[in-house]
Amino acid sequence: MKTFKGKVLFLDRSDINTDEIIPAKYLTEITKEALKPYLLEDLTLEGFNNEEDIKDKAVVITRENFGCGSSREHAPWALEVNGINVVIAENFARIFRQNMYNCGMFAIELPKEKIDYLFDNYAGKDTEVEIDVDNDKIIVVAEGNSETIDFKVGGFDKTLVKEGGWVGYADKNY
């Protein structure tokens, strides 16, 4: 099972698409590692610098419809190879969401009010998040304070996360 704990990258925009997550011109790369330097290269967001802002981050918190656009496994792979195994958003494009779970990564959906709360209270701070996989809890820590937020994930999706993705699940069960 992957690690689901670390510093947060806040991306305050809806509709971040897979071409912004990993530009299509890199889809011919044959290893995940080759995708690493290009994560969010084409993302347009005021004040965002992919080379500086991604470094040492393990969790993304963003707005609605994350991962829309073309369906491709490369988008979760680019996140994964950069150490980001959790994306928290209002909602996700359906195929992107399932690709995350198929790779053993979390795509956690929270209501708009909770996402707004996280941005209002934690964006711009040195914020860390830890996912309590067994108890469906997000532990948020910043400036010496911590709080817990509940979330829901389907049973099979949680199994995929625990097994490291679809391949790990298949190896164990087939």
Judge whether 14 and 67 are in contact, CB under 8 Å: no
Structure confidence at residue 61 (pLDDT): 98
pLDDT in tens, 119-152: 999 999 999 999 999 999 999 999 999 999 999 9
Q: What is the pTM of this model?
A: 0.96
Structure confidence at residue 6 (pLDDT): 98
Residue numbers of the chain with a pLDDT score lower than 50: none
Structure confidence at residue 154 (pLDDT): 95
Count CA within 13 A, CB hemisphere, residue 130: 9
Structure confidence at residue 104 (pLDDT): 97
* Cα–Cα distance, 95 to 103 (Å, whole number): 12
Look up residue 59 and give its two tokens.
């969790």
Look up residue 120 and give its two tokens.
């209002």
Structure confidence at residue 71 (pLDDT): 82
Structure confidence at residue 7 (pLDDT): 98
Look up residue 86 and give its two tokens.
């959790």
Structure confidence at residue 2 (pLDDT): 85
Of 63, 71, 88, 61, nearest to 151 by C-alpha is 88
Structure confidence at residue 3 (pLDDT): 85
First CA to last CA across the chain, in angstroms? Answer: 19
Judge whether 10 and 122 are in contact, CB under 8 Å: yes
Structure confidence at residue 38 (pLDDT): 97
Domain boundaries, the chain: 5-173
User: Which CATH homologous superfamily contains domain 5-173?
Assistant: Aconitase, domain 4 (3.20.19.10)
